[in-house]
Structure 1
Amino acid sequence: MQVITNLLSNALKFTPDSGNIRISVEDKNDNILIKVQDTGIGIPAHLQPFLFDKFTKAGRQGIHGEPSVGLGMSIIKTIVEWHNGQIWFESTEGIGTTFYIEISKDN
């Protein structure tokens, strides 16, 4: 729940009021794939490799001035990995971001 809450919070933080946020869950045999997709500002390509680092330089102020300390994505990744899952993303600046979480149904 914490992972989904944090991803939704980030999507809201970086998606304009006229944008869209979508959550989906897909059954993949022994795993579940969760997607959190937004039509927000996207993550610049030069910051993407650092997104999951603690105190990342990819931490940015939200579009409405919300502050960031650069820990949220590191915490999300840690929680997913504690459950033997994987997290990754695709992002295009100015178009949006999709986060993928794949986790075993046994968790």
Structure 2
Amino acid sequence: MPKKFYTERDIDALHVQGVTRLDVDTNTVITALAKDRMTKLGMGINAAGAAQTPGAAPASAPSGPSPASNLAGQVKAAVLARLGDQVDAALLDAIIARVLARA
């Protein structure tokens, strides 16, 4: 079976789509940057044995974070997916927090 690779950009795109957990098996490779991004975004990993096809990325119900922090994470992920390393993550956090505080 071919390997399924997840990169940092894949994780950003999945996060924007609402995915909070990835199903992985021995044929799944998650790059180091992708793992870091998953940690920052609060995404988790389901080990092999899940009901989904190996490597599938099902959306699961959000648990824990407040709607504002979830929205902030979604906005940040969308901007980072679009602009990548062209944006300072700390500055982006500050801008998002200011905008959401005014909403």
Length-normalised TM-score, structure 2:
0.27
Larger Rg: 2
Which is richer in helix? 2
Per the normalisation by structure 1, the TM-score is 0.27
* Structure that is richer in strand per residue: 1
